[in-house]
Amino acid sequence: MAEVQGSILGNAVLRREDPRLLTGDDKFTADLAADGVAYIHFVRSSFAHATIVSTDIAEAAGMPGVVGAWTAENLEMADFQGFPMFPPEFNRPPLAKGKVRFVGDIVAAVVAETREQAADAAEAVVVEYEPIPAVVDMEKALEEGTPILFEAHGSNLVFETAIEADGDPLEGADRVVEGRIVSQRLAGVPMEPNGCLAIPADDHLTIWMSSQNPIAVRDAIVGQLGLDPEKVRVAAPAVGGGFGPKAGAYVEHFLTTKLAQDLDRPVKWAEERSENMVSLVHGRAMILYAKLGLTDDGVITGLDVDVVADGGAYPGIGAFLTMFTQWMIQGVYDIPKIGYRARSAVTNTTTTGAYRGAGRPEATQMLERIIDIAADELGIDAGEIRRKNFLQPEAFPLTTLGGANYDNGEYEKSLDAALKAADYQGLLAMQAERRASGDTKQLGIGLSAYVEITAPAGLHVEYGAVEVNEDGTVVARVGTSSHGQGHETAFSMIVSDMLGVPMDDVTLLQSDTDEVPRGQGTMGSRSLQAAGSAVHVASETVLAKAKTLAAHLLEANEPDIVTADGGLQVTGVPSSNMTWADLAQAANDDSKRPDGMEPGLAHELDFDGTDATFPFGAHVSLVEVDTETGEVQMLRHIAVDDCGRILNPLLVTGQQHGGIAQGAAQALFEIVAYDNDGNPITSNLMDYAIPSAAELPSFEATNTETASPRNPLGAKGVGESGTIGSTPAIHNAVVDAVSHLGVRHIDMPLTAQTVWQAIQDAAAQ
């Protein structure tokens, strides 16, 4: 047995999850079967705002294979509160009562022996509506005289938050630049739509679902339906993407579970893509009005921001995300005065929720656009104006005017690295040549510098446990829930590094309330810093106990016990060793343990990182814009992201690439759009534009490493960083490509049509 040399941490290790995904061995919710399963289909409103005059389910109930049909009249269920801070008048009836408030609101449910029979019967449900004028525009929703969605509340305002500046934040500025930045509504569009399978058995209930947070969903279900949590198991099999929208419970989960109970048989819901586009919560949907005060030489003197956010119908966390925007409103800059006001409205649209970044991208989008507008108006280089205003490393730790407690940061370092990797001066020279030549295809160079918050709002606490089995294998349990990030690989690396066991001998248990007693799930880029740290501390504690045991049994001094391949040994004496199997068996043997030692080699804890961490970085985008057609082509994208100490660069790079792709999608392609009557006009993947690899260049992603002091791994999150940094860089690049033609700003998405129109409008002035 040889002593363990070096550390696996910091090395590129292939993902353990990939072989199962590539061979199809992993099973997703829709793949799961159950004896006697029936299928549920929801009848959804085709009106955005209407009174329900009548609902006739008689024909549907008598169709072949139909087990039953329900409306709010024959299935009484408590209304669902989408967010605990909001008044109860905003709660959503699982089956609409008296009124529908968005296209996709559920009016009735049908259960049948087959999925096809349930869908056919749902078509036979006859609903008579009396339309009401729809409220689609979030700003108009807050105006006097606009129809009220929830009469009991008396207005369409659901949430407000503000930072009160000490006096006028723009007072004393030499120049004030203004901008209106739209962060358009997006759909999450995970590869796997939503769904669940509820299986009653005796007095217990098992619910399989595609979820980022089975423990929280279990708690929501038992609370909503009045069940005993000890008798309800919620678990996620393989999950085909989440991006935030799968972080919570849906009324569809409650309905499926309730009807499985009532029918005393398994009931399955497998969401269709068109259903997913209107029922899975949307993201973003904010308008930010910014005024930035500066001196003539580009030093920021103050910032004043007004925000309107769209909570959709039946508001959830999306209406609260203006608070996250507030936390990050200062960004990476030394801003002496900030004023911030945000209002969230309800509208006759799909409810909004968390989507990769959840309130933080909107702050960065606003800051990085207004900084670029200021650079153009003052005639200062985009890199120089940022460098001039960066917070400096010696300022940390720092509580910002937005209320965020920054741990540390070296913002200039990441920007310099990005500019060097891009050959920024070379790009500027190429751009000047294109402009001088009058070429119809112009180059645009866009920068962004960002800081974001990971593990926010109490998410820095997480459950973890490690136990060595008597065969020498190890089981780790975490309260987070993987949906593609590589948790099995990352947490196995931590255990392997600490205990010296092969990664293949580590089993990770997650996403199952029967296996994990508590936890906060996966969102907010928190898993490694919170759950990973819990696994690290648990492994460290197990190792300390094992060393005490080995020293006792090997008759050695405890400091002389070291980790070896597959166990522990006396340093320098390979023959004096014990395998992990030996140690685990001895730990369970009363005759072999030292006096006072508890049985077993196991430890569990709730790790508390005390606060969030703050990753940061800089991105450079190079685009080419055809000034005759408005078509945009990404040529290069350079990202330098700092997520603290890097555990596995392969996993980090994967997160960077995925995040950049989603950021590019918002900048150039994606938008959920409604007509004036509240009808979604991008409700399937024929109309909702998602880029493929063919539309994207090969990203150039690297890192700086600034370890966080708030956890033993030094880790910060990286799952959302690419999204936050890329969108404004690409946005700035496209505007930069046509700025010499008089274009000052263009709203996202920067489609060929919108870019071409901006060029025409500038030429006409």
Range 32-132+194-270: architecture per CATH: Alpha-Beta Complex (3.90)
How confident is the model over 13-52, as pLDDT tens digits? 999 999 999 999 999 999 999 999 999 999 999 999 999 9
Residue 5: band (very low, low, confident or very high) from pLDDT cuts 50, 70, 90: confident
Give SS3 for 554.
helix
- The three-state (H, E, C) secondary structure of 378-434, written as one string: HCCCHHHHHHHHECCHHHCCEECCCCCEECCCCHHHHHHHHHHHHCHHHHHHHHHHH
Distance separating alpha carbons of residues 487 and 530, to the nearest angstrom: 12
The pLDDT score that the predictor gives to residue 303 is 98
pTM score above 0.95: yes
Mean of the pLDDT values across residues 509-528? 97
Residue 203 has pLDDT above 80, yes or no: yes
Share the mean pLDDT of the chain: 97
Mean of the pLDDT values across residues 136-160? 97
Distance separating alpha carbons of residues 31 and 34, to the nearest angstrom: 10
Q: Which residue has the tokens 């370092």?
A: 413
Give SS3 for 193.
coil
DSSP state, residue 623: E
On the question of a common fold for 18-25+461-608 and 32-132+194-270, the answer reads no
Task: Find all residues with CB under 8 Å of 94, minimum gap 6, and list them.
Answer: 75, 77, 79, 80, 106, 251, 254, 255, 258
Mean of the pLDDT values across residues 354-381? 98
How confident is the model over 52-105, as pLDDT tens digits? 999 999 999 999 999 999 999 999 899 999 999 999 999 999 999 999 999 999
The pLDDT score that the predictor gives to residue 616 is 98
Please, is 224 exposed, middle or buried when counting C-beta atoms within 10 Å of its C-beta (0-12, 13-18, 19+)?
A: buried
The pLDDT score that the predictor gives to residue 430 is 98
Q: How many CA atoms lie within 13 A of 669 on its CB side?
A: 18
Residue 3: band (very low, low, confident or very high) from pLDDT cuts 50, 70, 90: confident
Q: Please answer whether residues 259 and 70 qualify as being in contact, where contact means their C-beta atoms are separated by less than 8 angstroms.
A: yes
* Domain residue limits, the chain: 18-25+461-608, 32-132+194-270, 282-456+611-764
The pLDDT score that the predictor gives to residue 6 is 81
Calculate the alpha carbon distances from 99 to 56, 95, 206, 351 in Å.
15, 10, 33, 16
Mean of the pLDDT values across residues 533-550? 98
Distance separating alpha carbons of residues 566 and 142, to the nearest angstrom: 65
Mean of the pLDDT values across residues 584-608? 96
How confident is the model over 377-429, as pLDDT tens digits? 999 999 999 999 999 999 999 999 999 999 999 999 999 999 999 999 999 99
Q: Which fold has domain 282-456+611-764?
A: Aldehyde Oxidoreductase; domain 4 (3.30.365)
Distance separating alpha carbons of residues 234 and 519, to the nearest angstrom: 13
Q: Which two tokens stand for residue 678?
A: 């509240």
Residue 1: band (very low, low, confident or very high) from pLDDT cuts 50, 70, 90: confident
Residue 156: band (very low, low, confident or very high) from pLDDT cuts 50, 70, 90: very high
Distance separating alpha carbons of residues 173 and 9, to the nearest angstrom: 49
> What is the largest distance, in Å, between two alpha-carbon atoms of the chain?
91
How confident is the model over 294-333, as pLDDT tens digits? 999 999 999 999 999 999 999 999 999 999 999 999 999 9
Distance separating alpha carbons of residues 114 and 270, to the nearest angstrom: 12
Mean of the pLDDT values across residues 673-702? 96
Range 18-25+461-608: architecture per CATH: 2-Layer Sandwich (3.30)
Mean of the pLDDT values across residues 193-200? 98
Start-to-end CA span in the chain (Å): 79
Which among 701, 657, 659, 644 is positioned nearest to 421, based on CA atoms?
701
Task: Find all residues with CB under 8 Å of 436, minimum gap 6, and list them.
Answer: none
The H helix count followed by the E strand count for the chain is 19, 28
